[in-house]
Structure 1
Amino acid sequence: MNILNYKLDTTNELLTSRIGLITLAHTIQVLDLSKTIDQHFPALGSNCALKASTFINTLVLSQHEGGECLDDVVHIAKDKALRLVTNQQVPTPQAIGTWLRRLGKDNQGIKALRKANKTLLKATLNNCKNITLDIDASEVIANKADAQWTYKGNKSYMPMVGHIAQTGQIVATDFRAGNVSPNTDNLGFIKTCQDALPKGTNIKKLRIDAAGYQASIIDYCLENDIEFSIRAKMCQSLKDILVDKDNQWQPLVDKKGKAIDGQATFRMRHFMGDEGKVFDLIVQRSVVTGQVELDLGLDLNLNSNNNTQAPEQITTGPYIYKTPTN
């Protein structure tokens, strides 16, 4: 091993351990995000007041730095080297809190944020006209007095979040209390996501977990030519159908066309309700050691009739055989 000659010395130069935030600050500058924010957010009414972009840019930098509360913005305020490079003013936590409470009146902040985000999406999506929408609930654990218990056993909030699969960007959010069921008004949220997209950009594909297994969502997708992949909960009616179709199971194959040992798949036409539209239901079953009885709470995989399937949705059907292990 050859170690290069080096010397240790002291320096009076400013140093920072948050050099990665410079890339983020540069991105904010290139996108001219500050101008977009100030165009859509209400001014404070005083020429001496800080602009909305100063508050939001500070919060963005703080979150990427790992901040968990408003007080953590002092990490950026005390980093002289970072502030010198980014040329970023940093308001105090108290000032940010006051600003956020003011924006909360009449949902001013939410309305302004949606407009600013639509402008940002237009710049980053470029010529992408059709997007894949992923929606899911995201738990935010909180110690606030109004936080409610979630099904995960925490006092939290449970906002619904819509992401663009191609870019990972958030299209829209629906802030919800922790005790609100994840399947509440998901069709309305899908429509909100469509409205939040730039003009000329549409939802072409939808991926959602069992919270989206609703006739209204399936009908909406089929009526609007949206491909979809949705998980469905096992129920007695589906179990009865699958038992009758036992001889129609096919081996599940991998990307190379080779059958996967212990796994099979089955496809059938299905509908929900008395007047529901017909779609393809795809079930996968696996032989797994350890289980001795059937679990009817397992997930199925629901796909549109164009055979689009999310690769991460590996699901199981009613025939799950497990043997006890020592």
Structure 2
Amino acid sequence: MEIIPYQLSTTKELITPRSGLICLAELLDKIDLQTKIDEVGRVLKSNNAIKHSKYVLSYILALHAGADNLSDLSILTSDKALMKLLGYTRTPKPSAFGKWLKKNGKSLLLDELHSYLVGLSLGNCKKVTLDIDATYILSFNENALYGYIGKGYMPMIGTIAETSQIIAIDFRQGDVPPSKNNHEFIKACMYNLPKDIELSGVRIDAAGYQHEIIDWLIDKKIEFAIRAKMHNSLREQILDIDTWQDNKIKIVHAMGDSKHSFELVIQRELIDKGQMEIGICDESSQSLSCGRYMYRAIATNSNKNNDDLVKWYNQRADDSENRIKDLKLDFSANKMPCKDFKANALYINICALAYNIFQVLKACFT
């Protein structure tokens, strides 16, 4: 084996272990995100010498470098070589960043930035599928409220399946049920789509099983798949079925206050003898166990066959739930830094911007 000769020596040249961030910085410059943030920032309050874009972009870079909280902004300032490559002379201190969040806590102002980043990733795609889901964020902040899981927050997050990006966030207190204002949130997500992009599909868990949502989607001719709740009328309808040929069957159903009827794909699954139960469940249950089988249902207006419809609905587990996990675990949205509610709303949107930019970066390489 040939040994390659080499020598070790010290150097006074600046060296960084984070050279990969230069690719990200080039992308941020190419898409002119700094200008767009400052355009949004014109209506934000600021008496600081540091521009709004410097706050946002500094933390986005820090998040991509592995930051876990505001104090990790030092990742940038402690790396002199990186600061020189980025052209930064300084970055906001954690305490200043916290004050900036509190002063400018109006998260809706970032919606157009989410829309812009989604548009960059869509390319020639003109139709998109929206998944919405609530997620719990544990917090011991004194202003956080208790929900059914514990003290914290329960934001509703809308994701676009085709790009794995976040289109909107409705930051909510922990005591807000996941089913609240879903109709308004869906419309807000649709409104925030890039120009000329059509909302063609919506997938929601049982929190979205509401007649006003289903009626609106039918009126708008938007394909949907929504996990049904086992209301009394539906339970009776399921238990009356005697024409099973496989473990899926489609029936027509209507809610008491709905304008339209819709189809339900009923799934049944054989359960172990030790798990057999009588068909008793409350109005919020998503499944019904009776005898040898457990039953679940998906409300839809889709022309897909039963197998494809179930597969399409189940895909939301990756397109939505796993993407939210990425946001929380990889981009530090699993804990809120401030006592102020609106400051935390702005913070989670900045984390979402960092996540969306990462998806744009992936699209550039693929």
**How would you bin the TM-score normalised by the shorter chain?**
0.7 to 0.9
Say which SS state the counterpart of residue 132 (structure 1) adopts. Answer: strand
Instruction: Determine the structure 2 residue equivalent to 1:283.
Output: 266
Q: In the alignment, which residue of structure 1 is the partner of 2:324? A: none
Q: Which residue of 2 aligns with 1:133?
A: 130
SS at match of 1:199: coil
The corresponding residue for 1:119 is 116
Deviations 1:85-117 (A, max 9, x none): 33344211122122212212xx3xx34312333
In the alignment, does 2:68 pair up with 1:72?
no
Of 238, 244, 253, which aligns to 1:270?
Answer: 253
Do the aligned residues in 1 keep the contact of 2:265 with 2:299 (CA within 8 Å)? yes
Correspondence for 1:250: 245
Q: Indicate the residue corresponding to 1:311 in structure 2.
A: 311
* Cα distance, 1:304 vs structure 2: 1.7
In the other structure, the counterpart of 1:258 is none
Offset, 1:237: 2.2
Asked if the contact 1:207–1:310 (Cα under 8 Å) also holds between the matched residues in 2, the reply is no
Instruction: Say if 1:97 and 1:45 are closer, same or farther in 2 by CA, change over 3 A.
Output: closer
**In structure 2, do the counterparts of structure 1 residues 57 and 274 end up closer, same or farther at CA, with 3 Å as the change threshold?**
closer
Q: CA RMSD in A?
A: 2.5
Q: Distance in 2 between matches of 1:172 and 1:124?
A: 16
Quick check: which has more Rg, 1 or 2?
A: 1
Tell me the alpha carbon deviations over residues 218-240 of structure 1, each in whole angstroms, 9 at most, x when there is no partner: 00100001000111122332222
- Kept in 2, the 8 Å contact 1:136–1:208? The answer is yes
Tell me how far apart the structure 1 counterparts of residues 165 and 175 of structure 2 sit (CA, whole Å): 26
- Tell me if 1:232 matches 2:228: yes
1:176 partnered with 2:172: yes
CA distance in 2 between partners of 1:52 and 1:216 (Å): 39
SS at match of 2:185: helix
Unaligned segments of structure 1, at least 5 residues? 252-263, 315-326
Amino acid at match of 1:144: N
In structure 2, the residue matched to 1:255 is: none
Instruction: Give TM-score scaled by structure 2 length.
Output: 0.73
How many Å apart are 1:74 and its aligned residue?
1.2
Query: Can you give the 5+ residue segments of structure 2 that lack an aligned partner in the other structure?
Result: 288-295, 315-366
Aligned to 1:320: none
d(CA) in 2 for partners of 1:148, 1:238: 34
Larger RCO, structures 1/2 (Cα 8 Å, 6+ apart): 2
| Matches of 1:155 and 1:24, distance apart in 2 | 36
Deviates more, 1:175-184 or 1:11-20: 11-20
What CA distance in whole angstroms lies between the structure 2 residues aligned with 1:132 and 1:53? 30
The answer on whether the counterparts of 2:249 and 2:267 sit within 8 Å (CA) in structure 1 is yes
Q: 71-80 or 81-90, which moves further after superposition? A: 81-90
Q: Matches of 2:159 and 2:303 in 1, distance apart?
A: 22
The equivalences for 1:198-237 within 5 A come to 198-237=194-233
Could you tell me how far 1:284 is from its partner in structure 2? 1.1
Q: 1:44 to 1:69 in 2, by over 3 A?
A: same
Structure 1 residues 45, 191: CA separation in 2 closer, same or farther (over 3 Å shift)?
Answer: closer
**How far apart are residue 5 of structure 1 and its match?**
4.0
More helix, by proportion: 2
Kept after mapping to 1: 8 A contact 2:212/2:258: no
1:29 matched residue in structure 2: 29
State the secondary structure of the residue aligned to 2:163.
coil
The answer on whether the counterparts of 2:225 and 2:300 sit within 8 Å (CA) in structure 1 is yes
Report the CA distance between 1:294 and its aligned residue.
Answer: 4.2
Could you tell me how far apart the structure 1 residues matched to 2:207 and 2:151 are?
Answer: 21
Q: Distance in 2 between matches of 1:197 and 1:224?
A: 16
Kept in 2, the 8 Å contact 1:41–1:113? The answer is no
Question: C-alpha deviations, 1:169-194, integer Å up to 9, x for none?
Answer: 21111110011100001000001111
Q: Structure 2 CA distance, aligned partners of 1:59 and 1:280?
A: 47
294 and 6 in structure 1: CA distance in 2 versus 1, 3 angstrom threshold: farther
Higher mean displacement: 132-141 or 214-223 = 132-141
Q: Is the 8 A contact 1:36 1:119 kept in 2?
A: no
Question: Is 2:290 aligned against 1:293?
Answer: no
Distance 2:25 2:278 in 1: 54
1:300 Cα deviation from its structure 2 partner? 2.3
Q: How does 1:157-176 map to 2 (within 5 A)?
A: 157-176=153-172
The residue type equivalent to 2:219 in the other structure is: E
AA at the equivalent of 1:73: L
CA distance in 1, matches of 2:26, 2:270: 52
Distance change in 2, residues 1:283/1:94 (3 Å): same
1:25 partner SS? helix
CA distance in structure 2 between the partners assigned to 1:267 and 1:194 by the alignment: 29
Task: Report the counterpart of residue 259 of structure 1 in structure 2.
Answer: none
Q: Within 1, Cα distance between the matches of 2:300 and 2:213? A: 12
CA distance in 2, matches of 1:64, 1:302: 39
